[in-house]
Structure 1
Amino acid sequence: MQMKKWLYTLLVIVLAACSNEIPEQQPAKRSGRTVLAYLISNNAGTSLDNDLRNNVIDMYTALGNMKESCTLLVFYRPYTGDAPLSKPTLMSFYADGRGNINNVAALTGSELTFDAVCRIAQKKEYTMNSQIATDPVVMEEVFTDMQTVAPSDSYGLILGSHASGWMKGTSVPTKAFGDDDGYNIDIPDLADVLKNSFSEKLDFVLFDACMMGTAEVGYELRETTSYCIASVMETPVYGFPYDQILPYLYSENVDYSAVCHEFMSFNKTNNLWGTCAVMDCSQMENLASAVKAKLSEWQDALSSVSMRNVQQYGVNSYKYFSYDVLDFFRELGRKSGIVKTTDLNEAIASVQSALNQAVIAKDCLSGVDYDFDGLVIDGTRFCGIGMYIPKEVNDYVPDNISWNNWNDYYKQSISWYRAAGWADLNLN
């Protein structure tokens, strides 16, 4: 009997020593890419809480259908502390590729609710007190925690909330990126946060937020991410169809064209509108150089350009914030005296070539069937991204728009302003 007890004890010790269970404080580094999501639903005015909850459910659904193991971390800033998350919370999900998430069979059907998903998640809560989710200190803390919880070969980041592109959120009625009870983070500050938080470039940053698909944003992020996925338009509140696109985002070589296509197919099915493009941020310097050279060559024609002839991407107070990069140069070329289409295409070939390298995927819903509050996209003039035109003319900026605020901030803080050559033109 004593011998049996001794053998049993020895067996337990051996099995424990051979166990592959990783202590919680020392997670194993996972091969491949880990996807991170930073979602802010505590929005002033129009809350995205219900829509972002549905996004999390869709992400969870995708994980349950994955055929390979993968990791998803979601930081969720809830709307005024509503249940089931009373505080900002980092949720971790580990899918084994066999239908299990966090060692439990993936939820389906009526059991698949946001509350249930939150219960299954491994969680860390943040008190934050008076701090906000768009505070650079808070963001860096969360991104550091994410990497501690899930060490990985590489990361891709989804940023979901309200947004308004490069525009400073406190100087004009805009949101920059994020809206935590009216507070946001400007894009240069966001670029610094990402640079400080990650030792290597992110594989991608996906903006599930309005109007981030601009040259200004892509250029600002060139040192922090390899690719930027975004829409130059306002985006429908439903966001991206994560149950469809998340598997692509885990692929070693992401099919970015498929991501754009799935997004537009989803919007089309739901009678919505939209654009989507993917910028190769390593090519943004080259694009800036091409834009700068052409602006310098045709600067005398700037004053005669009618911006009404250029495809633009905003509505209401955002109507003048972003114009199609290539379509702008088509109009500028015409004002420079180029009449024939073949001659014009040849004249703007340098910008077109740079765009071909910088915009690696794009898709849009074009035509009057996809009218958004009076804005109709012409697919034949859609290059994928837009840019602001900081020239002071009275033919496209009405008196009720504080465009001087836009120009002042643009000149002082947005790197694209100098890189693209606007500063060299001595515009007032």
Structure 2
Amino acid sequence: MTGEKHHRRGRGASRWSRIASTVSGLAGCLVWGGLLFRSVWVDWPSEQRLPGALLLGLFLLCLLVVGLCGVPLLGARRSPHSRAAGADHTPGFPAASEHAPMPDTDGPPTPSPRTSSRGVGRGSATALGLALLGAMLGGCERKELCYPEPSRPLVVYLALDNDLSGECDARLAALCSGWRSDMDVWVYADTPSGASLSHLEGTASGVELRTVETYGEENSASGATLERVLRSVWQRSPSEGYGLLFFSHATGWLPEGALARPHAEAASVASGAGGGATRTLGRDGSAEMSLEAFAAAIPEGMPLDYILFEACLVAGAEVALELCGRTDLLLVSSAELLVPGFRPLYGECLELLTSRRLGTEELLTTFGQRYMQYVRQECAGIYRSATLSVIRTSSLPALASAVHRATAGRAGETASEELLSQLQHFDRPGQYGDRPAAARFFDLEDYVERLHAASGADMASLAAFHAALEDAVVWSDATEQFMGGAGAPYGGFDIARHGGLTTYVPRAEFPSLNEAYRQTAWYRAITTNAL
């Protein structure tokens, strides 16, 4: 009886040992599993997070089953002979029914070797599984997990002190929805209530815009304001490269106010009363930022990788050449950009705009493709309209020289009504209050090809132009119609040609606007072949 009591006591002790081992294994599984899950969800690229989390969850579930069901992954198994004899038998240890002496009934029972290895085996299995899983997860993206790429700081410039002010709250909310902890996003917003610079940051409750500078009432359509914002971000967040998303009204190369009043405004510019030629990007009330002021506002030496223009009519060769040397790439629209613009993409594409895993050309091309997909699949009626292109600004000088040769120096001359009527245009004459209603934004490729045919220049020069255009336009896409197409209300038009860059063509209706155009760097380059 005494021996039987000792035997039951030993079996009880071993049972509690196994329970303790199982509990410790499960606890370790949960702790390490949580740490590994956090590593996957925070450090892995977004496209790999969900598959990685699912695989991790499946593996942890298997470990939990192992712990709960008592499957001895490591340690001995019972031999059939031992089960038949009613005793545990571990290889390497003699069975009690064969060679091992029976325990002394007056002393404590000798622990079964299998009892110890079983408890240790289950804990060891869990620990070994977690170790292998950690090695696997670390090895899959070792470089990214251990040496994560710093994100590209993104400056979002919202010049909304105009009729776009109602877009402010929705855009800020969309930016917050797309923010992740590894992003560096700065938001300048100017509305009728004032202007401020904020930084997107994480909090215990989610994401917030932390205001870092408050400016009050100011003119956001000013080169001085844009420069101050860019310098502030450059100082606060040093980096090897930046992105700029610019949202406001724009009229490309046109002088201030000339979109609606091509005669009056252009005449004052040509006579000098307007203070010199001003092409506009951005609007604050009635004030507009000149193209020259915009270019000069980008601080010398600031590595601005790209500018994403969420604005209308900015794909002009005049604009791209002016920004050459200030930024590498532009994402621009030949026609107008209809509200809500890029806002529906902020949530899913903010990570794309701040990532360094893609080159900037691929980054902007991917963004443009996603927007065109959104327009074609999600928009209907007149809103199924878009024109986008990615422009390499460093290629513009060579492109201007190629235009000069392909047109035998005739580019920039006042065109005939016959030629103008044949050209693809991207504005909506008469819809801006402009009189006379005449197009001013034409497809560059269409213009050069038609002028080449009339000039008698050699075919080699035309081939050189096409090669230069292909080098300058990284990617382009457009819908088949804009705002319903030709004959539709709101001045819609068909899009038969879209080379990715537009140009102004001097016309007899606008003599003073023609004079303002002759002051642009692009005009000088295509007429004199010199910059």
Q: TM-score, normalised by structure 2?
A: 0.60
Q: Which amino acid letter does the alignment assign opposite residue 202 of structure 1?
A: L
1:421 aligns with 527
Q: Which amino acid letter does the alignment assign opposite residue 476 of structure 2?
A: K
CA contact (8 A) 1:301 1:332 kept: no
Change (3 A) 1:127 1:375: same
Q: Which amino acid letter does the alignment assign opposite residue 31 of structure 1?
A: P
CA contact (8 A) 2:246 2:309 kept: yes
Q: How far did 1:278 drift? A: 0.7
Give the paired residue count.
Answer: 345
* More helix as a share of residues: 2
| Residue 463 of structure 2, aligned match among 349, 353, 356 | 349
| Residue 161 of structure 1, aligned match among 231, 248, 264 | 248
Distance 1:55 1:334 in 2: 47
Distance 2:528 2:170 in 1: 42
Q: TM-score, normalised by structure 1?
A: 0.73
Distance 2:300 2:169 in 1: 27
Q: CA RMSD in A?
A: 2.8
2:476 aligns with 362
Distance 1:297 1:139 in 2: 37
The answer on 1:226 being equivalent to 2:328 is yes
Q: How far did 1:171 drift? A: 5.5
Change (3 A) 1:234 1:301: closer
CA contact (8 A) 2:402 2:461 kept: no
| Residue 257 of structure 1, aligned match among 358, 365, 376 | 365
CA contact (8 A) 2:406 2:461 kept: no
1:7 aligns with none
Distance 1:361 1:248 in 2: 17
Q: Which runs of 5+ in 1 are unaligned?
A: 1-29, 82-86, 95-101, 108-119, 398-402
The answer on 1:72 being equivalent to 2:156 is no
Give percent identity, aligned residues only: 23
The answer on 1:184 being equivalent to 2:288 is yes
CA contact (8 A) 2:157 2:245 kept: yes
Q: SS of the residue aligned with 1:53?
A: helix
Q: How far did 1:298 drift? A: 5.6
Structure scoring higher RCO (CA < 8 A, sep ≥ 6) equals: 1
| Residue 309 of structure 2, aligned match among 185, 196, 207 | 207
1:275 aligns with 387
The answer on 1:378 being equivalent to 2:500 is no
1:9 aligns with none
Q: Which amino acid letter does the alignment assign opposite residue 479 of structure 2?
A: L
Change (3 A) 1:89 1:374: same
Q: How far did 1:153 drift? A: 2.2
1:248 aligns with 352
Distance 1:106 1:166 in 2: 42
Q: Which amino acid letter does the alignment assign opposite residue 203 of structure 1?
A: D
1:292 aligns with 404
Q: How far did 1:308 drift? A: 0.9
Q: How far did 1:299 drift? A: 6.5
Q: How far did 1:300 drift? A: 12
Q: How far did 1:285 drift? A: 0.8
Q: Which runs of 5+ in 2 are unaligned?
A: 1-148, 262-278
Distance 1:296 1:54 in 2: 50
Change (3 A) 1:190 1:103: same
Q: SS of the residue aligned with 2:337?
A: coil
Distance 2:285 2:414 in 1: 40
Mean alpha-carbon deviation: is it higher for 358-367 or for 243-252? 243-252
Q: Which amino acid letter does the alignment assign opposite residue 60 of structure 1?
A: C
Give per-residue Cα distances to partners, 1:45-79, cap 9 Å, x unaligned.
xx112224323322222214xxx71110000001x
Task: Give 1 or 2 for the bigger CA radius of gyration.
Answer: 2
CA contact (8 A) 1:51 1:237 kept: no
Distance 1:320 1:233 in 2: 12
Change (3 A) 1:104 1:357: farther
Mean alpha-carbon deviation: is it higher for 30-39 or for 354-363? 30-39
2:215 aligns with 127
